[in-house]
Amino acid sequence: MSGDILQDDSSSEEGGFRNPALNIEEPPGSDTELDIRIMRRKRAQSVFVGDLGAAVVVRDADKSYKAGTPVLMGLNMTVPCGSIYGLLGSSGCGKTTLLSCIIANRKLDSGNIWVFGSKPGTDKSIGVPGKNIGYMPQDISLYMEFSIEETLTYFGTLCGMSSEQVKTTRAFLKELLDLPKESRRISSLSGGQQRRVSFATALIHEPELLILDEPTVGVDPVLRQNIWKHLGKLVSSKRTTVIITTHYIEEARNADNIGIMRSGRLLAEKNPQELMDDYGSTLEKVVLRLCRKDTALKINPSDFAEVLKRRDAAAQNEDGKKIPDVRMAGVMKEPETGVQDSLIRIKALTGKNFAILFRNLILLSFVIWIPVFLVSIMCLALGSDPTHLSIGLVNDEVDHYSVCTNITRVIGECNIENLSCQFLRNIPEDTVDLKIFNTEEDALTAVQEGKTWGFIKFPNEFSSLFWERAATGANVDEATLNGSEIIVRLDESSKQTAAPIKKALYDAFEDFIADMLSDCGFDERQGESVLKFNTPIFGRDNTDFREYLAPSLAVGIIFFFPIITSAIRYIQEKKCGMMERSLVAGVNVWEIMVAYSISEFFVLAIQALLTYAVLTLVFKIHVLGTGILIVITYLLSGYGGVSMGFLFGSFCTEEIQAAILAMAAFFPNFLLSGLVWPVEGMPVPLQYVAYVLPCTLSSESVRSIVSRGWEFSHPNVWPGFVILIAYIVGYFILTVLIHKVFKR
């Protein structure tokens, strides 16, 4: 909307009050309310003889939320261009529903609505929804955390106003509507002040069509009169069309025409004075009489059958889409320019998102640090082998305290006595804490009481029989074999605890044999297994489990958190009505998502970089491949969560629903994606499921980059990126589709 076009008002008259930004002029000689009414009445009469044409035409409109309970029933309505149309009716008669169909927020079941000659929502050139409409819903529908300035600036920018225009108009509206200081937050305003800000929001871009749902509720009489006066000025000077609903029936006298609505139909549609001439001295009496008359006629069940018939006929009959025999008013503002308008809206939405993001810096830093914090906790808590595990020792060969503690190895000295001590010497003290028991029963009791993780028992002639077993070779007898065995019994209820004990014992035994062989003049390789494990191709012999776990688990953590945050943000935007208002201002759902993705980049990029930095610099995870690929995977994973959050937000109405869904989606993802346990260890059908989940291939990519040093082109790496991008696009598309379905 350029300033030139805004000022190109052929209908403005000389000498009136002027809004410097919008060029709104007060018509001369219209000081009194009576003058305005007389002028308006003349104009309304001229409208019906076809001078101005119709801005909004509704024909045979039917709408129901639940089958069998129609809200609109064959409603017809004609709103002349450049006039004020007051829509009156009792609570629940369908006024808001009708308005939301006019602004294309809802769809009729059958019937037609034309706005400026086109169906709203189908023809971008009419700018409805878009910058040609100003909508003030019944609820406040504003961000409570925004200031008045931020609110008006957001909506002005959304409609393409320059910052200079926004500033001037803000000042004008502040004076007109007696708004408080612009820096005040909406949440700190009184109900009446909030309504005035909401009204100003609808006016800020000087739309062609103003739809106001009860704008004067909670507004004092003086201000209410000012509002009507201002609407009159807009209509007179700018040919703005105003549809206004009100519960204060008498104030509707200020309208050029009024429609009296009851049970989804219009009982009458006329100039208020004419209605009063026909039905009574006040509008209250007019409404009462018309309603009584309607009650006398009583709606009968066949009315609804009529609705269904009309709906079926409209579905088949293309004629229903023809413009009725009413002269339609054309569009007065410049049409939508597609990409350029989208960019303007995305910029405004992004600005709003950043404002929300930076509003609460403590929450923002918390959100940024959560994944890093969790990854750090995970690195500290998971992956390291358990230490100082208590193991019982029953040594029937020697007294451990008096003998074993005094024995040290002398390299090259072949000592074949007290071999149990020589073996025990090789057990790493930081892994195993030996607790001495006199009998096997005592050692067993300690395990059963949970005091130790198992016990080792040496028979009384262990050294001699062991030596004999080694020396005798194939002819060794049963007694020698049994007497030279070291008995180990472990508590294997925890594999993760038993495994390092077993490994410590195996390693100790290997070292003991190697020491003995070399000290006694043999080749120590004679004691080694013939299964020779050379240097690993990838990873190291002592690769930390953390190295497997941490980089890939970070994928899952970074994926999870944005699900909740973005879903909650989406739901809050829906609940507070800002989304509806933004959509009426012409915003598309995909623009909301793009803008959110832009502002979220800030958070996700920092999260990804910090997580990578903590893994590599603090926890010394050695990355063989290209680090930036891991950062990009984390970033995409975050976007995967954001888009999934949008999807949940699109069909959940409460934050708690989205939170439960997020948890429900997260745990199967977490468990099946090979983040904590290899996919190969799952039943085959489950593996198929696992491989199509967003985090499975992406965490595999990360592992391949970290431990194998593979690059993007490797077939184990690029699929992880592809699947994340596919999920992001898929979730975005589904969100848009679901939004369309819910619009009904």
Ligand X SMILES: Nc1ncnc2c1ncn2[C@@H]1O[C@H](COP(=O)(O)OP(=O)(O)OP(=O)(O)O)[C@@H](O)[C@H]1O
Rounded distance between C-alpha atoms, residue 558 and residue 556, angstroms = 6
- Residues numbered 31 to 70 that lie near ligand X (CB under 6 A) are 65
Concatenated DSSP letters for 183-245? TSBGGGS-HHHHHHHHHHHHHTT--SEEEEESTTTT--HHHHHHHHHHHHHHHHHH--EEEEE
Q: How far is the CB of 726 from ligand X (least distance, A)?
A: 34
Partner residues linked to 113 by β-bridges: 58
Buried b (16+ CB within 10 A) or exposed e, 144-177: eebbbbbbbbbbbbbbbbeeebbbbbbebbbebb
Distances (CA, A) of 258 to 35, 40, 277, 422: 18, 12, 14, 105
Task: State the binding string over 96-125 for ligand X (x if CB under 6 A, else -).
Answer: xx----------------------------
**Shortest approach of ligand X to residue 63 CB, angstroms?**
9
Tokens encoding 427: 């057990």
Does residue number 304 form part of the binding site for ligand X (CB under 6 A)? no
Tell me if 28 contacts ligand X by CB under 6 A: no
CA 211 to CA 85: how far, in whole Å? 10
For residue 592, state whether it binds ligand X (rule: CB under 6 A): no
Q: Taking a C-beta distance cutoff of 8 angstroms, is the pair 482, 457 a contact?
A: no
Angstrom distance (rounded) from CA 672 to CA 682: 8
Minimum separation from the CB atom of position 655 to ligand X (A): 19
Q: Coil, strand, or helix at residue 25?
A: strand
**Nearest distance, CB of residue 97 and ligand X, angstroms:** 3
Inter-residue contact 586 to 129 (CB < 8 Å): yes
Span near ligand X by CB under 6 A; candidates 92-100, 122-130, 354-362, 481-489: 92-100
Q: Which is nearer to ligand X, 88 or 447 (CB)?
A: 88
Shortest Cβ 744–ligand X spacing (Å):
10
Give the integer Cα–Cα distance in Å for 258 and 459: 106
Told to check if 224 binds ligand X by CB under 6 A, we report: no
Indicate the residue among 96 and 699 with the shorter CB distance to ligand X. Answer: 96
Interface region with ligand X, contact rule CB under 6 A, candidates 90-98, 498-506, 509-517, 671-679: 90-98
Contact flags string 120-159 toward ligand X, x per CB under 6 A: ------------------x---------------------
| Residue closer to ligand X, measured from CB, 95 or 174 | 95
- Any contact of residue 221 with ligand X (CB under 6 A)? no
Q: What does DSSP say about strands 69-80 and 257-262: parallel, antiparallel, or unpaired?
A: unpaired
Single-letter residue type at 722: V
Report the amino acid identity of residue 94: G
93 scored as a contact of ligand X (CB under 6 A): yes
Q: With CB under 6 A, what is the number of residues at the site for ligand X? A: 11
Q: Collapsing DSSP states into helix, strand and coil, what is residue 321?
A: helix
The verdict on 677 binding ligand X (CB under 6 A) reads: no
CB 158 within 8 A of CB 215: no
Tokens coding 650: 């699109």
Q: CB of residue 89 vs ligand X: minimum separation in angstroms?
A: 6
**Strands, sheet with 69-80, edge to edge from the N-terminal-most edge strand:** 69-80, 54-66, 110-115
Report the distance separating Cα 545 and Cα 547, nearest Å. 5
3-state SS assignment for residue 57: strand
The Cα–Cα gap between 376 and 265 comes to: 64
Q: Is 71 in the site for ligand X (CB under 6 A)?
A: yes
Task: Considering the complex, state which of residue 100 and residue 565 has its C-beta at the smaller distance from ligand X.
Answer: 100
CB of 120 vs ligand X, minimal distance in Å: 17
Nearest residue (CB) to ligand X, 101 versus 434 = 101
Q: Minimal distance in Å, beta carbon 99 to ligand X?
A: 8
Please report how close the Cβ of residue 259 comes to ligand X at its closest, in angstroms.
12
Question: Residue 358, interface with ligand X (CB under 6 A)?
Answer: no
| Amino acid identity for residue 109 in this structure | D
Both tokens assigned to 102: 């006019």
Distance in Å, CB of 90 to ligand X, minimum: 7
Stretch that binds ligand X, among 86-94, 329-337, 430-438, 579-587 (CB under 6 A): 86-94
Residue whose CB is less far from ligand X, 107 or 409: 107
Residue selected from 28, 29, 92, 536 as contacting ligand X according to rule CB under 6 A: 92
Q: Tell me how far apart the alpha carbons of residues 598 and 642 are, in angstroms, rounded to a whole number.
A: 11
**Residue 401 sits in the site that holds ligand X (CB under 6 A):** no
Nearer to ligand X, 139 or 145 (CB): 139
> With binding defined as CB under 6 A, does residue 376 bind ligand X?
no
- Got the DSSP string for 417-444? S-HHHHHHHTS-TTTEEEEE-SSHHHHH
Q: Which is nearer to ligand X, 97 or 698 (CB)?
A: 97
Nearer to ligand X, 91 or 542 (CB): 91
Whose structure tokens read 């939301």? 100
Q: Identity (one letter) of the amino acid at 85? A: Y
Q: Which of 89, 120, 562, 694 binds ligand X (CB under 6 A)?
A: 89
Give least dist CB 622 to ligand X, A: 57
Q: Which helix (H) or strand (E) holds 582?
A: helix 578-584
Per the CB < 8 A criterion, the answer to whether 273 and 250 are in contact is: no
Whichever of 62 and 700 has its CB closer to ligand X, that residue is: 62
Measured CA to CA, the distance from residue 404 to residue 592 in angstroms comes to 74
Q: Which stretch binds ligand X (CB under 6 A): 95-103, 227-235, 686-694, 727-735?
A: 95-103
Q: Which stretch binds ligand X (CB under 6 A): 84-92, 128-136, 226-234, 617-625?
A: 84-92
Query: Of 93 and 621, which CB lies nearer to ligand X in the complex structure?
Result: 93
Least distance from ligand X to the Cβ atom of residue 281, Å? 25
Which listed residue (74, 80, 94, 259) binds ligand X by CB under 6 A?
Answer: 94
CB of 177 to ligand X, least distance (A): 22
Interaction site with ligand X (CB under 6 A): 65, 71, 89, 91-97, 138
